[in-house]
Amino acid sequence: MNLAAPPVRSFARGTVSRDAAWSLAYSAVVRLATLAASVVLARMIGPSGTGAFGVALQVTALGSMLATFNLPQSLSRHLASTEDPARRHRLLRTSGWLLLGLSTLTGTALMALSSWLARSVYHVPELAPVLFWCGPLVIATSATSWVEGALQGLRRFSSLTLWGVLVSVLDLTLGSLAAAFGVVWVLVSRSMIRALAAAGAVARWFRGAPAGTSPGTFASTAAPLLGFAGPTLLATATVLATQTVLRLLLVRSSALVAAGQYQAADSIAQGLSLIPTAASIAFMRSVAMGAEAGYPGLAVSLRRGLERLAGSNLPLCLLLMGVLPWATVALFGHEFTRSRPVLVLLSASYGLQGPSALFGAAILGRGEVWTGAFLNLMWAGVVLGAFTLAGAPLGAVGAAIAMLSGYFVLLVVCALALAPRWSVPLKSLAPAILATVGSLALGCSLALTPGVPPLVTALVCVALAGAVAVRWGLPAISSAARGAGD
């Protein structure tokens, strides 16, 4: 692969939009594969099997995060900040060896502790084989995360998307066949697919070194990678650990059935994070590229990003909570009727997560990793505190309320604390933020009030979604179309 940097336009122009579009396409196909696997399992095994699969996904995510030490994100940022092919090759080589060792240790430890975790932590002994096979999946998922970080840092988003489509197609086909034999075989299938995909990517894109590359030293290359990865690991670990502990508390207080209701709703609602995640990946890389110049245009780009996020993602949140609250029943079956209010609350939660994610991308792009770690710790305290103090008796609904509380507090703190610190006028960000919070609050209230006819809720949510789309969504599409022709 050519490790030289492609021509890049300015921070505030169409480059971010195109990169975000490719990143969105990649995230969408990956998310679709996971949702399809959840639906197939739910139809075959029911709420308990869905709950076990949800636990496996969460444990794998947490294990992969620990195994990678957040090196893929650090690799992406450092690749974006240099145009030297030799430096880029050393970053790829060093991060790859570090990640291989860490993921092997983590996956092996999880396999060894699987029986104890199932018995003593989850209090569900039958989870032992599921947790055991999370170990190989952690190793394979860590390898694919490294490929993702490398391609994002090199701005090869189209290659990443095509690679992701291949992995997702295999997940949909082989995973659906494996679901007939239970959760364990789905995990085995996902492990094999990811291991082969990562090996193929290395053979295709990352072999060999540029001519004339100086060998460098392992330590000199590893130090900046680990220096950025350490604090960001704390921030990422906080989020994943909180989500894992929340499900653990849900299982222990309300059993696997409640966890299955939550997992079904979350499988659908997580689709609302695709656009914010894609925008954040491209935005973080763009901010990092402006480091030497003092982050030019950050105020304008942050305002524009929040408005475009509101115009594109907020209507989806409103439509899901107001028009399609029975999506869990339609996809997973009538056993998941109780997940309807959970889906409504999680739709509002992910609607608030979007603007927070854009602030988080700016934090990482600016290298303010300890600020991000502190904000995530605060979010974790709010989520777990809300569930422990008030949400536990409500089961899956209580867990969704806790998530909503955490993201609301996080967004408020980001807006009030970070904007002034970065010399970004708060009043320029206020319209998009207030529109997001206000419309989600109104839609959520209507959808959860028993006396309000569903038709009224749907009409109000459609009207709000249309107003936001006209105000910010359509202008963003028009602007992107003009930028593509530049």
pLDDT, tens digit, 9 for 90 and up, residues 252-290: 887 778 888 888 888 889 889 888 887 887 787 777 776
> pLDDT value at position 14?
47
What's the confidence (pLDDT) of residue 7?
44
Say what the pLDDT of residue 477 is.
Answer: 66
Cβ–Cβ under 8 Å, residues 80 and 149: no
- What b-and-e string marks burial along 109-148, b requiring 16 or more CB atoms within 10 Å of the CB? ebbeebeebbeeebebeebebbbbbbbbbbbbbbbbbbbb
pLDDT at site 290:
66
pLDDT band, very low/low/confident/very high, at 293 (cuts 50, 70, 90): low
| pLDDT for 12 beyond 90 | no
| Mean pLDDT, rounded, for 213-239 | 71
Instruction: Supply the pLDDT for residue 15.
Output: 52
Query: What's the mean per-residue pLDDT of the chain?
Result: 83
For residue 6, give the DSSP letter. P
pLDDT in the model for residue 3: 63
Q: Is a pLDDT exceeding 80 seen at residue 139?
A: yes
Helices (H), 325-425: 327-332, 340-365, 369-386, 396-413, 419-421
Q: Would the pLDDT of 418 be above 70?
A: yes
| 438-482 per-position pLDDT tens digit | 999 999 999 999 889 999 999 999 999 999 999 998 876 666 555
Interval 13-39: pLDDT, tens: 445 556 667 667 777 777 777 777 777
Distance CA 122, CA 312 (A): 39
Res 329: pLDDT: 83
Helices and strands in the chain, H and E counts:
18, 0
Q: How confident is the model at residue 486 (pLDDT cuts 50, 70, 90)?
A: very low
pLDDT of residue 10 exceeding 80: no
Residue 377 vs residues 60, 94, 373, 386: alpha-carbon distances, Å = 21, 30, 6, 14
CA-closest candidate to residue 156, choices 5, 44, 12, 9: 5
The larger pLDDT score, comparing residue 77 to residue 459, is at: 459
pLDDT exceeds 50 at position 360:
yes
Name the nearest CA neighbour of 76 among 281, 357, 277, 234. 281
pLDDT of 128 reads 93
DSSP string covering 41-109, please?
HHHHH-HHHHHHHHHHHHHHHHHHHHHHTTHHHHHHHHHHT---HHHHHHHHHHHHHHHHHHHHHHHHH
User: Quick one: pLDDT band at residue 8, thresholds 50, 70, 90?
Assistant: very low
Q: Which of 170-174, 409-413, 465-469 has the lowest mean pLDDT?
A: 170-174
Higher pLDDT, 320 or 329: 320
Over range 405-424, report the average pLDDT.
93
210 half-sphere exposure, CB direction, 13 A CA radius: 16
What pLDDT score does 85 carry? 84
Question: pLDDT grade, residue 9 (50/70/90)?
Answer: very low
Q: How sure is the predictor about 2, in pLDDT bands with cuts at 50, 70 and 90?
A: low
pLDDT at 456: 94
CA 204 to the chain's CA centroid: 26
Highest mean pLDDT (candidates 29-38, 111-120, 231-240, 468-477): 111-120
**Taking a C-beta distance cutoff of 8 angstroms, is the pair 142, 195 a contact?**
no
